[in-house]
Amino acid sequence: AFSNHRYYDSNLITFPAAETRASAVEWRRVDGVYAKGKGRHNQAEAEAIVNETVKRLMDPAFVAAGHTIGIITLNTDQQRLINDLLDRARQQFPQIEPFFQHDIAEPVVVKNLETVQGDERDLIMLGIGYGPTEPGAQVMSMNFGPLNKEGGWRRLNVAITRARREMLVFSSFDSAMVDLNRTNARAVRDLKHFIEFAQRGPRALAEAVRGSVGGYDSPFEEAVAQGLRRKGWQVVPQIGVSRFRIDLGVVHPDRPGDYLVGVECDGATYHSAATARDRDKVRSGILKGLGWNLVRLWSTEWWIDKSSALDRLHASLEALLEDSRSIAAARVESEKSTLAPHLSLVHNVPFAVVTDHSEDTDLSMTDTPIEPITELKIAKSFVGWVTPAIKGEYRVTDFTNVGDRINAEAFYSPEYDAVLADLIAHVLAQEAPILDSLLVQRVARAHGFQRTGRLIRERVLDLTEQKHHLRNDPVYGQFVWHSANDVAAWNSYRVPATVDDGRSVEEIAAEELLTVAALISAGDMPLEIAKTLGVKRLTSAARERIENVIKTMSDL
């Protein structure tokens, strides 16, 4: 998808997969540093790649599927280091040795960017290697070895198209640290956007910021930019994002590859027209939807009192920077923190951390200090009694044991009702509560149907409704439960059993989201809920769903 969009003008002919997910490309952030000079390698990143390789080769499901692994580095030093670490791993874990033998069709291979042409594997791990040279540094060199050379984008294109099924991208920095205003290399720009793509999925393609696309549009913009620079801000004119241009981009002081805010320098004449105002509302709405903070400065305000206008603009930027730093600090704190003794209130349902391990102990909610924690228990009613939250595994339904009963030709026959009802119950036994459309898809795929049209949906849900409970989600969608009693008694949350068992937030019932919400004590709650449930990417739609579920239930 990325190469098709970036290099081939979306003209490649592609074929759909029977199994779909948001993206088969995943970003792995590593707390590593790049050793410049003689070493020219990244030890922590190499270790992370080797650990993942060993983990996959010792995963029975991965091995049984016959999947193969390829590792790509950007330079030979990192390639050599990974090979050395793999040699040690092969000595430590002799059971993985067969996967490295040259007499098999596709052994584990480690190649650098210059030698990987022609190789393919089911899983490709791309190690960037380059990055900060000091722990915690927020600024790094824009030198990425072969990517900075002429035609470097072709090398990158080769590297990111070697994977058949899955790709992991390892780096010691996030995309915000790649400062497009400090490099003209096309491949470096593309690398920044590919990391964004790996982190956020296909949505990132439309949201990619491409740095300055020209000079100032007017003397007014230039005057504002110079004024902001005197205040200490780094300013870039005419920032390109999708098909829009932002007059001035103010670079985030802590993340030099990101923008803190976009400054719109508007003239009164342009905005006096009704159609222009309407158009500008749409434009601003889209840019905000792409993650921009926007502030507006009027030319009339500037010319009447330049000094005061600049001070007000500076104060706005300072406030936005403070908010940004507070959010970042809270996120770091939430990642470091463990559950601490506390009382809290989540969606008006009180919960406490307690030391009791018995499943049937009732505890009244009081203000008495609580001893060091061993277990979290969540209240299920306003009475104040608590029951334990249960962590389980979520697995996609396996029809192997019932496959001999499946008959696609009899799907619509009344005589097939009993079998179809049993198949529905089989899915619910493993996955309930499950989104109704997902239940229909499971049953349809088991019969070999690749599409789930109206007739199939009605057939499955009509039988489902006779014995099970269909419940409208408080926010959106309809979920299928074994019975209505299960809703009231629900106190569990489930994490993917394997990488192939992941769910999107939209496929998780509100009751399960709320159970996890009660476990979160600090930080970005939607993000923490998604991480706890094994959701790989928190899209804006998923974040909105979580927030709406919590708000809706708290209003009940």
Per the DSSP assignment, residues forming a β-bridge with 390 are 492
Contact present, 516 and 529 (Cβ < 8 Å): yes
Written as six digits, the tokens of 459 are: 């057939």
Q: Encode pLDDT of 466-495 as tens digits.
A: 999 998 888 878 999 988 888 878 888 999
Domains in the chain and their CATH numbers? 2-207 (3.40.50), 211-335 (3.40.960.10), 391-555 (no CATH)
Find the mean pLDDT for residues 200-221: 65
d(CA 40, CA 518): 46
Find the mean pLDDT for residues 350-372: 32
In DSSP notation, 203-258 reads HHHHH-EEEE-SS-SSHHHHHHHHHHHHTT--EEEEEEETTEEEEEEEEPSS-TTS
pLDDT at 349: 35
- Give how far Cα 221 sits from Cα of 43, 232, 319, 477, Å: 46, 17, 22, 47
d(CA 377, CA 484): 23
**Percent residues over pLDDT 90 in the chain:** 31
In the numeric block, the tokens 């990974």 are attached to: 82
CA 49 remoteness from chain centre: 20
- Give how far Cα 178 sits from Cα of 42, 211, 245, 314, Å: 17, 11, 20, 25
Q: How confident is the model at residue 8 (pLDDT cuts 50, 70, 90)?
A: confident
Contact present, 343 and 365 (Cβ < 8 Å): yes
Which residue type occupies 80?
A: R
In the numeric block, the tokens 């050379």 are attached to: 149
Q: Encode pLDDT of 114-157 as tens digits.
A: 888 888 999 999 999 999 988 878 788 898 988 988 888 899 98
Contact present, 248 and 310 (Cβ < 8 Å): no
DSSP 41: B
Helix (H), strand (E), coil (C) string for 309-335: HHHHHHHHHHHHHHHHHHHHHHHHHHH
CB atoms within 10 A of CB 164: 14
Contact present, 555 and 516 (Cβ < 8 Å): no
Most confident of 7-21, 198-212, 420-434: 420-434
pTM here?
0.44
CB atoms within 10 A of CB 303: 11
Contact present, 78 and 44 (Cβ < 8 Å): no
d(CA 170, CA 71): 11
Most confident of 363-367, 506-510, 540-544: 506-510
Checking if the pLDDT of 434 tops 70, the result is yes
CA neighbor of 265 nearest in space, from 311, 223, 210, 327: 223
**Percent residues over pLDDT 70 in the chain:** 78
d(CA 155, CA 171): 18
DSSP 416: G
Q: Encode pLDDT of 255-307 as tens digits.
A: 766 788 888 887 544 444 445 555 566 666 666 665 678 888 888 888 889 99
d(CA 483, CA 485): 5
DSSP 497: S
- Give how far Cα 103 sits from Cα of 94, 99, 297, 451, Å: 17, 10, 68, 41
- Give how far Cα 468 sits from Cα of 40, 96, 255, 414, 463, Å: 61, 46, 52, 19, 9
Contact present, 22 and 201 (Cβ < 8 Å): yes
330/548: higher pLDDT: 548
Checking if the pLDDT of 366 tops 60, the result is no
Q: Helix H segments across 409-539?
A: 417-431, 436-446, 454-467, 484-489, 510-517, 525-532
CA 396 remoteness from chain centre: 21
Checking if the pLDDT of 69 tops 50, the result is yes
Written as six digits, the tokens of 195 are: 């990391």
Q: Identify the helix (H) or strand (E) that includes residue 287.
A: helix 274-289
| CB-side neighbour CA atoms (13 Å) of 400 | 2
d(CA 295, CA 285): 13
Written as six digits, the tokens of 379 are: 């209240």
Query: In this predicted structure, which of 30-34, 132-136, 341-345, 383-387 has the lowest mean pLDDT?
Result: 341-345
In the numeric block, the tokens 């508007």 are attached to: 266
Which residue type occupies 169?
A: V
Per the DSSP assignment, residues forming a β-bridge with 125 are 71, 168
Judging by beta carbons within 10 Å of its beta carbon (0-12, 13-18, 19+), is residue 358 exposed, middle or buried? exposed
User: Do β-strands 259-266 and 294-298 pair in parallel, antiparallel, or remain unpaired?
Assistant: parallel
